[in-house]
Amino acid sequence: MKNRSLISINDYSKEELLKILKIAEEFEANPRQKILSNYVIASLFFEPSTRTRLSFESAINQLGGRVIGFTDSSSSSVKKGESLRDTIETVSLYSDLIVMRHPIEGSARFASEINDTPIINAGDGANQHPTQCLLDMYSIQKTQGTLDNLDIAFVGDLKYGRTVHSLVIAMSMFKNTRFHLVSPEELKLPRAVKEFILSSGLTYEQYTDINAVIEKVDILYMTRIQAERFADPIEYEKVKNSYILENSMLENSKDNLRILHPLPRVNEINEDVDTNDKAYYFQQAQNGVFVRQALLASILGLR
Ligand code: CP
């Protein structure tokens, strides 16, 4: 993976993804190795973030690296009209690797083609979020002991949820994944992502009722309805409360069920679920540090 950008999750092979998960185990056991002391990482966030930005920064700081960048592009020369091309050209002169989140789909791919500085896509619009995908895979493997033969339900905004798109593509690489897709009619998984499942020789079922899947799945992957992606706020109002998971709904779920959510949540998981042993979303967010350490070390040729 040395010097290779990560833009879409299928830029890396299944073997390469598994290798990163293996390296992440090493960092989980020992996260404070000073291997990045000679490196500067740029963190360019053109969209808000808590977990992705801060877990990258924590990962880099724990490894002894330095971080430059911005959390709000209005404090950069983008505000004066500078293009993304010129921004990337310039930041490449100051850093060894760029982590970038941007609201426009395809922006990270564009950035990766400007020069040889590796780019990690930290989310491009409603398209992909490959580092979230890696930590989701790590969390699934850690809680289920395998990435094969799993029933996974994706619930909520499957149309705009970039974490869902990346994880469906990744889990299509594994044996016998059974996809249960729960969404309002208006927010179904895009056709291209569903075709990826079929072209991998797997199948999916679509539902509108979350209760139809809770008792049969190993992973319940809840998502937020992405208000910021709707062109018409009235359309968001119609679907915003489509799914609210409550503790009582989990009574007959499988013992090995784990509830994941990329976070932030709005109201789709009631706080009474937080104390259920099957709730795993905060541990999932913590796993992001180890997986991002593994990815940085791999791309910089240190693992
Ligand atoms: N999961 C995720 O991308 O969260 P943030 O938007 O807080 O980075």
Check if 102 is active-site: no
User: Does the annotation count 32 as an active-site position?
Assistant: no
Joined tokens for residue 21: 């998960």
Q: Is 2 a catalytic residue?
A: no
Once rounded to an integer, what is the mean pLDDT over residues 243-247?
98
Ligand 1 neighbour 146 (Cβ under 6 A)? no
For residue 201, the CA-to-ligand 1 centroid distance in Å is 31
Q: For residue 161, name the pLDDT band (cuts at 50, 70, 90).
A: very high
Q: Whose CA is nearest to atom 7 of ligand 1?
A: 50
Q: How confident is the model at residue 238 (pLDDT cuts 50, 70, 90)?
A: very high
pLDDT digits (tens, 9 = 90+) for 33-60: 999 999 999 999 999 999 999 999 999 9
Secondary structure, 3-state, the chain: CCCCCECCHHHCCHHHHHHHHHHHHHHHHCCCCCCCCCCEEEEEECCCCCHHHHHHHHHHHHCCCEEEEECCHHHCHHHHCCCHHHHHHHHHCCCCEEEEEECCCCHHHHHHCCCCCCEEEEEECCCECHHHHHHHHHHHHHHHCCCCCCEEEEECCCCCCHHHHHHHHHHCCCCCCEEEEECCHHHCCCHHHHHHHHHCCCCEEEECCHHHCHHHCCEEEECCCCHHHCCCHHHHHHHCCCCCECHHHHCCCCCCCEEECCCCCCCCECHHHCCCCCECHHHHHHHHHHHHHHHHHHHCCCC
Q: Which residue type does 299 have?
A: I
Nearest protein Cα to ligand 1, atom 3: 52
The answer to whether the CB of 282 is under 6 A from ligand 1 is: no
- The model's confidence at residue 145, banded by pLDDT at 50, 70 and 90, is very high
- pLDDT for residue 54: 98
Sheet-wide strand order for 219-222: 204-207, 178-182, 151-155, 219-222, 258-260
Mean pLDDT, the chain, whole residue set:
97
Whether ligand 1 lies within 6 angstroms of the CB of 263 is answered as yes
Q: Are strands 219-222 and 258-260 parallel, antiparallel or unpaired?
A: parallel
Q: Give the model's confidence band at 127: pLDDT under 50 very low, under 70 low, under 90 confident, else very high.
A: very high
Q: Is 52 in the pocket of ligand 1 (CB under 6 A)?
A: yes
Tens of pLDDT, residues 23-40: 999 999 999 999 999 999
User: Ligand 1 pocket, 289 CB below 6 A?
Assistant: no
Q: pLDDT at position 112, please?
A: 98
pTM: 0.97
Any catalytic annotation for residue 101? yes
Predicted confidence (pLDDT) per residue in 179-211, tens digit: 999 999 999 999 999 999 999 999 999 999 999
Residue 31 · residue 191 · CB < 8 Å: no
Q: Which domains does the chain have, with CATH numbers?
A: 9-127+288-299 (3.40.50.1370), 130-285 (3.40.50.1370)
User: What's the rounded Cα separation, in Å, for the pair 282 and 292?
Assistant: 16
Q: Which residue among 53, 102, 117, 129 is the active-site one?
A: 129
Confidence of residue 300 (pLDDT cuts 50, 70, 90): very high
Mean pLDDT of 165-174: 98
Residues in the chain: 303
Q: Chain-centre distance of CA 178, in angstroms?
A: 20
At 119, the pLDDT band (50, 70, 90 cuts) reads very high
Ligand 1 atom index nearest CA of 101: 8
Burial of 290 (0-12, 13-18, 19+ CB in 10 A): buried
- Written as six digits, the tokens of 300 are 């910089």
- Distance (angstroms) between ligand 1 centre and the Cα of 225 equals 14
> What mean pLDDT do residues 117-125 have?
98
| Percentage, residues of the chain above pLDDT 70 | 100
Percent of the chain at pLDDT exceeding 90: 99
